[in-house]
Structure 1
């Protein structure tokens, strides 16, 4: 079949999706080195958490927190599997799905069954990526549980520097698990941006831009971030007064 102008617009829209997705991921990593964001601030809290954990005799609460984080990731990974199964089912009956979508208000009359199939495949690939990323986050939280079990006792005769080094290393693993979880969440966000594509290509392009804006605001300009920063600054002020 010859490639139409509408096909080229859709190809450009797909390129725009991946350019916005990967571009924002690169921007967020670079910006986090010079500006506060949720990831960088949470790293400070994770280090503080691990230092406090090593000083506690009873660490049941700490292991419960890790288990809770792992359950959150597990829920999204399980959901991704269900969505993948549903998308595969749609692929098997694409003609019926096409007729159903065509009957909806504001349906895109220029879309062919082949184009619909390609859009479903794109969604399928996004959720496959989300599944692999989220399951990797689950494994890393499992590694954290092992590190908790191997952590030195609160009264162990070890240097403070060794204790701090162990705490920072454990916090780094939790950080990596958090990053993988974040990547999986972004896949969910961008998959929702694909849904308007079934009705209008330009609406899809706008939805991708809106998702990027939402991600930026939540990670770099949210009220939650400001609250976390205020707490850190308050701790620093208290420690400064105590030292003086």
Structure 2
């Protein structure tokens, strides 16, 4: 059965739900990374603090604390990359037993009467998100490695003319690594939401709306964001 036939097997409501899901997933990432100037996202605020970190790093002695932070960040990306690999493996195992999965769901959802190919498409969507998360986490892990090398290349003498420029390079690479990491996390969030499609298109739309609300709150209305915006900290502009 070809892809065209498989897509034709989806109901109109399924197509609407998946279209909304993909639009929200891609759109929220763009919005978080390109927010209104008057309302920066938490990720954007943290990017400024990463630059400040690198400026302070130049004059900090010893620099053990900075190396520990980088090691911790790389450990986090490594953990999520490993978890994504496990999810991909589980997804492929389910994909090979889509017919059995449909049988299990038969008494739980009205969509259980759908052809097996529809259930395979639902699992493929989850796999795509898990694979995307894995790639983002691996790239983030590698970028944090680049950042650590750039930090090691910063001269111990803070008055050295190349010290600050190299530290700023490390800061920008650090910010890029954080972007990849956050994109990976959003793929995880929406990957979990995509599992709701197993319960039908309505469940997928509800899960999409809930996930969107959670992410928007964390990026634009969280307590942590309010702390970052406190005017008492005049260092960040």
**TM-score for the superposition, normalised by structure 2:** 0.89
Does 1:23 find its partner at 2:21? Answer: no
Query: Counterpart of 1:158 in 2: which secondary structure?
Result: coil
**TM-score for the superposition, normalised by structure 1:** 0.87
Query: Counterpart of 1:234 in 2: which secondary structure?
Result: coil
Q: How does 1:105-184 map to 2 (within 5 A)?
A: 105-106=108-109, 108-153=111-156, 155=157, 157-159=159-161, 162-184=162-184
Shift of 1:157: 4.4
Does 1:63 find its partner at 2:67? Answer: yes
**Aligned-pair Cα RMSD in Å:** 2.1
Shift of 1:137: 0.3
User: What CA distance in whole angstroms lies between the structure 2 residues aligned with 1:77 and 1:163?
Assistant: 33
Consecutive unaligned residues in structure 2, runs of 5 or more: none
Shift of 1:84: 0.4
User: What CA distance in whole angstroms lies between the structure 2 residues aligned with 1:196 and 1:11?
Assistant: 14
Consecutive unaligned residues in structure 1, runs of 5 or more: 240-244
User: What CA distance in whole angstroms lies between the structure 2 residues aligned with 1:114 and 1:121?
Assistant: 10
Contact 2:150–2:167, Cα closer than 8 Å, also in 1: no
Contact 2:111–2:199, Cα closer than 8 Å, also in 1: yes
Does 1:189 find its partner at 2:189? Answer: yes
Shift of 1:106: 4.2
> How many residues were matched structurally?
231
More displaced 10-residue stretch of structure 1: 162-171 or 35-44 = 162-171
Contact 1:126–1:191, Cα closer than 8 Å, also in 2: yes
User: What CA distance in whole angstroms lies between the structure 1 residues aligned with 2:179 and 2:36?
Assistant: 12
Indicate how the Cα distance of structure 1 residues 157 and 23 shifts in structure 2: closer, same or farther if over 3 A, else same: closer
